[in-house]
Amino acid sequence: MGLCGICLRLVVVVEMLLLMGANAAPTPPQLAQAKPGCRTTCGDLQVVYPFGTEDGCYLNKTFLITCNDTHYNPPKPFLRQSTSLVVTNITLEEGRLQVESLVSKACYDKNGKSISDSGPPNTLLRINQFTISDTQNKFTVIGCNSYGLIEGKIRNKSYSEGCISRCESKGDVTDGSCSGSGCCQIDIPKGLRQIAVSARRFRNSSNVSQFNSCTYAFVIEDSQFRFGTSNLSNTAERVPTAVDWSITGQGNCDKAKNNPSYACKENALCYQPPANNSAVGYLCKCDHGYQGNPYLSNGCQDFDECDQGTHTCHTQARCINTPGISLGFVMLLVGSTWFFFMFKKRRLIKLKEQFFQQNGGFLLQQQLSKRTGASDTAKIFSEEELKKATNNFDEKRIIGRGGYGTVYKGFLTDNNPVAIKKSKIVDQSQIEQFINEVTVLSQINHRNVVKLLGCCLETEVPLLVYEYVTNGTLFDHIHNKDETPTIPWETRLRIAAETAGVLSYLHSSAATPIIHRDVKSTNILLDNDFTAKVSDFGASKLVPIDEAQLSTMVQGTLGYLDPEYLHTSQLTEKSDVYSFGVVVVELMTGKKVLSFDRPEEERSLVMYFLFSLKAGRLFEILDNGIVNDDNREQIREVGELARRCLRVKGEERPTMKEVAMELEGLRRMDKHQWDKVEVNIEETEHLLSETSYTCNNGDGSNSAAAYDSMKDHLLVAFDTAR
Ligand SMILES: *[C@@H]1O[C@H](CO)[C@@H](O)[C@H](O)[C@H]1NC(C)=O
Ligand SMILES: *[C@@H]1O[C@H](CO)[C@@H](O)[C@H](O)[C@H]1NC(C)=O
Ligand SMILES: *[C@@H]1O[C@H](CO)[C@@H](O)[C@H](O)[C@H]1NC(C)=O
Ligand SMILES: *[C@@H]1O[C@H](CO)[C@@H](O)[C@H](O)[C@H]1NC(C)=O
Ligand SMILES: *[C@@H]1O[C@H](CO)[C@@H](O)[C@H](O)[C@H]1NC(C)=O
Ligand SMILES: *[C@@H]1O[C@H](CO)[C@@H](O)[C@H](O)[C@H]1NC(C)=O
Ligand SMILES: *[C@@H]1O[C@H](CO)[C@@H](O)[C@H](O)[C@H]1NC(C)=O
Ligand SMILES: *[C@@H]1O[C@H](CO)[C@@H](O)[C@H](O)[C@H]1NC(C)=O
């Protein structure tokens, strides 16, 4: 009796202990191990299969860890021959790796001169098979008057984003606060791969260099980072980064089970990674009551027989877990179905685009009539309406004329002004330009892009109706000084920043990257507040997702045309960067891009500018009345930026994103009172209208209207066949 009582009590105690143990630790797999006969450690790392360091020790090459004994003591485990990612921990349960990734840095001497002058330093987080965890990491930049960029691919789309950090003295920086002063952070989007990060300073940092000589950019596991002022002078060379892994290339669990290389072994089951893991494949874990490495033959070992109690407990623990897993699975399924349909839809749209371009107005009409059925956006104007609006296309109403059309100012029945673009003659190639413009514009909705309100299809050629932008072109304001007052420097800088923002958005954020191809001051319109509105997408190119460069007929405007593109016919985003650089020079100097009135060496503004800059004569060629004591430094920086945009080799030019960030940074410096609000560079109002051919994205009620300048649109066309 007594004995039995003790026995019973013992059993209860044991059970309680086991229950507690099971509750406290959702199994750090104690038996997790390398393949038998293989190396189990490399330095401090516990090597765990499917990862391995030698042939035959890993599941496949993806999981190869190169252990470098020869150069390092203790040895260092690198992820698949990568020289930048050192593995520090392998977790089987969540499919996670902890790696140490290199910090990207840019350093400056006490005169503010860049020490590492070989372009933007890049840390490559280039791991194709695995993804950088979006839930555990943050992109972080440390430094004063600096910005960092993170670039990569999401599925096949290129992505780039950045954050800005400002400070003039140590006093601006607070321990523990990474929100824009001395330190800034942004989230990493889901599924970002092929990551490259870079750090830069956007102004002469001679003052700041005393206490902060380098700018650092890195991707760090959030839980491992707390910003301190000491980090301005002391940031590690490597930081911990969380990486998600899984078994890919075999589909989901259901499919994988029938695959000969199914990775889950005896007594193991397959599961989809939890929602906080962005990997796309599957993972394995031991069955109820088994523990160990589910990827190894006989890796999952049975528990001690007398632990019957724990079995129920385990089942309970798993039961709680199951909804999470199945939820993840359902989400994955819904997600992938959605992507599948979006992908198909996009393909369909693309195909339609082709027809659209071939058939011109006919298909446009079809598309539009479908749209109006859905009662959103598209506005189709009747010919009658537009005739009335323009007083029967009265000559006096013409506000722009160019190589391929005429722009009229008109008033709709509600008295709202609009700009109406009409092709000059019926010509298939011109119709194509029109259709192209509709296609491109219908995909963009951006504050600094001229809005397309609708179109008219009853005429021989389609007529396009835009918002009317009240204040003319940038060209007029810069070059027709008799009629307009001089634009102050701050406004010029804002116009440049806004234009750069649009181009950067077109290049990287839009559904399909778009190259504008005709960036120039006549295509930048200004409204009453001198807000820039980029127009004329007649020549723009949608870049097919997989192509970084396109071979095209060289087209553009003399004086703005990228010399490299002219030479090779290979169109890249960097051609817009060049043209933008020319616009910046125009803004700074107030001089025309080409002028045969000037002495020979000054005819090409770009040459003249570069020459003067080199000779240290920048301030002698600036437009009258823009320089003052407060903005000299800023102007110098912008001049330097323009020089980089105008480099002959496209690849040496900065990206539009970098340009936009630098201009934004310089503008903010100007304000001098540091509003400690978090900097948000992202234009949140950029909405992508997936619904392609709506002729109009906005509310037709917008009273402003646009016109598209086609003045002196010199079209340079060369035969690519040469
Ligand atoms: C070890 O690292 C050094 C320096 O990065 C490299 O030169 C060497 O090839 C590496 N050895 C092995 C075995 O990977
Ligand atoms: C590896 O990661 C796991 C889970 O995050 C943790 O429990 C363990 O302590 C880590 N091991 C090392 C050596 O850091
Ligand atoms: C930065 O400014 C200082 C003085 O303010 C000047 O001496 C130095 O040359 C400048 N550096 C660069 C790289 O422009
Ligand atoms: C991404 O590009 C690769 C080749 O560049 C192609 O095989 C693949 O189908 C593309 N994926 C998507 C989702 O577009
Ligand atoms: C450096 O600080 C001095 C004095 O505070 C200031 O006049 C100067 O403009 C600053 N230079 C730069 C490049 O910011
Ligand atoms: C920031 O500074 C602290 C204290 O000096 C240091 O422990 C930490 O590693 C630094 N952080 C980074 C990312 O270098
Ligand atoms: C190796 O594994 C990766 C990731 O699990 C997979 O994508 C790839 O298809 C596999 N390659 C081979 C040759 O099995
Ligand atoms: C990820 O999600 C799983 C299941 O939802 C959870 O058990 C785990 O703690 C999460 N991990 C992290 C690091 O948030």
CATH number for the domain including 395? 3.30.200.20
Q: What is the largest CA-CA distance in the chain?
A: 117
Domain endpoint, select from 244, 278, 308: 244
Matching residue, tokens 């191990």: 33
- Sheet with 104-107, strands from edge to edge, namely 104-107, 214-221, 137-142, 183-187
pLDDT at 543: 61
State the pLDDT confidence band at 703, using cuts at 50, 70 and 90: very low
Residues 203 and 348 in one domain: no
Residue 306 within a domain: no
Q: Please check whether residues 488 and 408 belong to one and the same domain.
A: no
The token duo for 638 is 């912008």
The finding on whether 155 has its CB within 6 A of some atom of ligand 4 is yes
* Between 301 and 504, residue with greater pLDDT: 504
Co-location of 426 and 522 in the same domain: no
Same domain, 144 and 54: no
Domain presence at residue 587: yes
Q: Is 39 exposed, middle or buried (0-12, 13-18, 19+ CB in 10 A)?
A: middle
Nearest bound ligand to CA 275? 8
Ligand 1 centroid from CA 76, angstroms: 10
Of 244, 263, 289, the one marking the end of a domain is 244
Rounded to whole angstroms, how far apart are CA atoms 453 and 696?
5
Q: What is the pTM of this model?
A: 0.63
Residue that wins the pLDDT comparison between 512 and 135: 135
Residues 125 and 191 in one domain: yes
pLDDT in tens, 240-249: 999 998 898 8
Share the mean pLDDT of the chain. 74
Burial class (CB in 10 A: 0-12, 13-18, 19+), 524: buried
Same domain assignment for residues 105 and 73:
no
Least confident of 30-34, 90-94, 278-282: 30-34
In a domain, 702, yes or no: yes
Instruction: Kindly state the percentage of the chain with pLDDT values over 70.
Output: 68
Domain assignment present for 289 = no
In a domain, 253, yes or no: no
Residues contacting ligand 2 via CB (< 6 Å): 28, 89, 91
* Same domain membership, residue 714 and residue 612: yes
CA distances from 705 to 401, 471, 502, 533, 555 (A): 17, 10, 19, 11, 27
* Res. 197: pLDDT tops 50: yes
In a domain, residue 292? The reply is no
Which of 222-231, 281-290, 440-449, 600-609 has the highest average model confidence (pLDDT)? 222-231
Question: Of 188, 216, 244, which closes a domain?
Answer: 244
Amino acid at 672: H
Residue-wise pLDDT for 597-654, tens only, equals 788 778 889 999 999 999 999 999 999 889 998 899 899 999 999 999 999 999 999 9
Residues 696 and 595 in one domain: yes
CATH number of the domain encompassing residue 690: 1.10.510.10
Number of domains in the chain: 5
Give residue 357's region: left, alpha or beta (phi > 0; psi -120 to 50): alpha
Q: What is the pLDDT of residue 494?
A: 95
**Ligand 3 centroid, distance to 182 Cα (angstroms):** 21
Q: Are residues 566 and 591 in the same domain?
A: yes
Do residues 414 and 513 both lie within one domain? no
Helix/strand/coil for 680: coil
Which residue's CA is the closest to the ligand 4 atom numbered 6?
546
Question: Which of 54, 69, 71 for mutating ligand 1's site (highest number of atoms within 8 Å of CB)?
Answer: 71
Pocket test for ligand 3, best of 206, 210, 614, 618 (most atoms within 8 A of CB): 206
Which residue's C-alpha comes closest to atom 4 of ligand 2?
Answer: 91
Taking CA atoms only, the protein residue closest to ligand 5 atom 9 is 633
**Mean pLDDT along residues 695-702:** 30
Active site residue 518: yes
Q: Is there a single domain that holds both residue 702 and residue 634? A: yes
Asked whether residue 441 falls in the same domain as residue 533, the answer is no
pLDDT in tens, 513-569: 788 888 999 889 999 999 999 987 766 666 655 555 555 566 667 788 888 888 888
Which comes out higher in pLDDT, residue 486 or 141?
141
More confidently predicted of 614 and 379: 614
**Ligand 4 contact via 73 beta carbon (within 6 Å):** no
Domain extent at residue 209: 97-244
Residues 161-178: what's their mean pLDDT? 87
User: Binding site: what residues are annotated?
Assistant: 422
Residue 619, in any domain of the structure:
yes
Establish if 272 belongs to a structural domain. Answer: no
Residue 692 is predicted with a pLDDT of 26
